[in-house]
Structure 1
Amino acid sequence: MEAIGAVLREAPATRPYTASRPLSLESVSLDPPQPGELLVRIGAAGVCHSDLSVIDGNRPRPLPMLLGHEAAGTVVDIGTGVHDVKVGDKVVLVYVPSCGVCQFCNAGSPALCTAAAAANGEGTLLRGGSRLRAPDESSIRHHLGVSAFASHAVVDRNSAVVVGNDVPDDIAALFGCAMLTGFGAVTHTASVGPGDSVAVFGLGGVGQAAVMSAAAAGANPLIAIDPIPAKQTLALELGATHACAPEDAAAYLARYADGGVDWAFEVAGSAKVLEAAYAATGRGGATVAVGLPHPDATFTMPALSIVATNRRILGSYMGSAQPQRDIPAMISLWRAGRLPVDRLKSAELPLSMINEAFEALADGTALRQTLKPEWSGR
């Protein structure tokens, strides 16, 4: 079938993206779903730093590539061998299509799936190859097994979580990355509990998801740190007990957390911020690295402090989550009013404004924008 998608052909792109326009809407050929795959009509797709990091060159990927990995939509066709999904189901798409049989999947860590990591790095679907072709029949790569900045996408069955039709597409999409990553980091990587002290460094979509998840878990104090005042204000509304700019973080930690927290979350994708997050932990505390810095970035810390104060540094990819379990659980909390996911959404734009959306994300003014294909209702 013919689809319309936002294709990146060269990276890194120069800013402002409103002028360089690195993403172009193109007509692409989309092959029908193969065995074990689904064809999904995209209802909404979130604009995330993981896409921006491909555009700005921080995460090199094979090009050309159709971007977009945080999305929700409706199943319109099903490949053979899929028996637990039906046409008309609403699905949230996730960016690690776990194989279910490798050592990590068997150990309950699908975010570390070896087959998915290889496919995502190559820009293919889990079962191999691309379903996307340009008019000249050349291949276009998939982004993280999804490629959701489009009217339609073919994805592996394991890239989709069936959810209730009562969840609007623009809200459902956010559960696939921002919420899955932030909630998972707090709940699974860190296991934050009532009365635990928490600091969150970086208040973008994932950082705010971590704030609301830590608040739901009963964290106190919960200190939210970001240079942008509006993001500090939102964090307070989402349950943070205190919010401040980075330059004031040490004073806030000294006053409200005895100089160090139990859990510090780095959600800015910066090695320097990771150093600050580590410094914010107290004796026995743990730093959870959630953001994606440049592959060449390094950080330093006092080596003795790891042993002498029993502190830890934990990586959290996809929030150490199990999407098939965690997305329905989060939606239940959203329905109960305990996870106000709606507050993460800062704008809804047509897909044709995708370069404007990425410029807003790059300059820090946007939280979580969603893009809607103008033709998604067809």
Structure 2
Amino acid sequence: MSTAGKVIKCKAAVLWEMNKPFSVEEIEVGPPKAKEVHIKMVATGICRSDDHVISGHLMTALPVILGHEAAGIVESIGEGVTSVKPGDKVIPLCAPQCGKCKSCKHPESNFCVKNDLSSGLQGKLQDGTTRFTCRGKPIHHYLGTSTFSQYTVVDEISVAKIDAASPLEKVCLIGCGFSTGYGSAVKVAKVTQGSTCAVFGLGGVGLSVIIGCKAAGAARIIAVDINKDRFAKAREVGATECVNPQDYDKPIEEVLQEMSNGGVDFSFEVVGRLDTMVCAKICFAISSSAI
């Protein structure tokens, strides 16, 4: 039965306060307004950016439904929506694309000015309101997506239609982790054919960097992590060598410089620690790039 125009009751993980656990609540999700899309969520990842909100390192309006790395199926659409239709498989976009602003039109940028970050994480859709309520109170959106809910509403500029055969439990990672890593290699660093790359950190984003380096034609991709259990997957997706800093009695940046005859061409830090950032910066050749 169609849910178009109706309020849906469903479960969602609501963050009421910082540094407190999520509360799984029954919420009400309002129908999509003009140029909005109602999505039934099928799969969602958990990103460190979500944890930053919980810890208070990233400030957003509370209470809020977090989540921004997901995939689902269009439940219904608002007036004027043309890019998707009910039944389409889609990925919500935490980085929207209005296609009209200066940033969207710039060939080297994709940080649309209508991004929730640009407005200071106020937790609203483009019309300045929310579609979530719980216990009679409005609940804020997060990055225009809020995927920690069985149903969500996003602006049309914050959704991308994907192939009908796509496995949603896998392609959900394209919403943030994969595109961040792959894009850093291919779009930002612009890794070159035959180059040598170092990747510090072999989590989901680090593995995506490796995939990007391989796609760009890197000859050597040196994967660095203190967890050896991650090496097999790193090699599977394209790493040519794997290095554990704990296996050496000298700084890892010196090890990499020796391995690469003076320094790697591209260096990626995908851990988020100051010490690994410094290592990544030091280990690459003077004329090369660190990301």
TM > 0.5 fold call? yes
1:271 alignment partner, one of 271, 274, 277? 274
Q: Is the 8 A contact 1:29 1:135 kept in 2?
A: no
Q: Which residue of 2 aligns with 1:115?
A: 114
Q: State the one-letter code of the partner of 2:39.
A: V
Aligned to 2:124: 124
Contact 2:9 2:27 in 1 (8 A): yes
**Could you say what secondary structure the match of 1:121 adopts?**
coil
Q: 1:142 to 1:256 in 2, by over 3 A?
A: same
Q: Is 1:11 aligned to residue 40 of structure 2? A: no
Aligned to 2:203: 204
Contact 2:65 2:148 in 1 (8 A): yes
Aligned Cα root-mean-square deviation (Å): 1.7
Within 2, Cα distance between the matches of 1:48 and 1:63? 18
Relative contact order, higher structure (CA 8 A, sep 6+): 1
Matches of 2:109 and 2:42 in 1, distance apart? 26
Give the Cα separation in 2 of the matches to 1:273 and 1:4. Answer: 39
What is the CA distance between 1:216 and its match in structure 2? 2.4
Partner of 1:29, secondary structure, is strand
String of CA shifts for 1:318-344, please: whole Å, max 9, x gaps: xxxxxxxxxxxxxxxxxxxxxxxxxxx
SS at match of 2:277: helix
Change beyond 3 A, Cα 1:266–1:168? same
Match 2:257 to one of 251, 254, 258: 254
How far is 1:211 from its partner? 1.0
Deviation at 1:120, TM superposition (A): 6.3
Contact 2:83–2:161 (8 Å) recurs in 1: no
Secondary structure of 1:262's partner? Answer: strand
> Secondary structure in 2 aligned to 1:187?
helix
Aligned to 1:282: 285
Cα distance in structure 1, aligned partners of 2:59 and 2:254: 38
In structure 2, the gaps of 5 or more residues are 1-7
Counterpart residue type for residue 263 of structure 1: F
Larger gyration radius, structure 1 or structure 2: 2
Moved over 6 A (4+): none
Out of 186-195 and 212-221, give the one that drifted further: 212-221
2:4 maps to none
Normalising by structure 1, report the TM-score.
0.70
Structure 2 counterparts to residues 1-378 of structure 1, below 5 A: 1-13=8-20, 22-108=21-107, 111-116=110-115, 117-119=117-119, 121-136=121-136, 138-247=137-246, 248=248, 249-288=252-291
Per-residue CA distance 1:299-333 (angstroms, 9 max, x = gap): xxxxxxxxxxxxxxxxxxxxxxxxxxxxxxxxxxx
Give the number of the structure whose residues are more often helix, by fraction.
Answer: 1
Q: Which amino acid aligns with 1:194?
A: Q
Alignment size in residue pairs = 279
Contact 1:97 / 1:126 at 8 angstroms: preserved in 2? Answer: no
Alpha-carbon contact 1:10-1:63 (below 8 Å) kept: yes
Deviation at 1:217, TM superposition (A): 2.1
> Which structure 1 segments of 5+ residues have no match?
14-21, 289-378
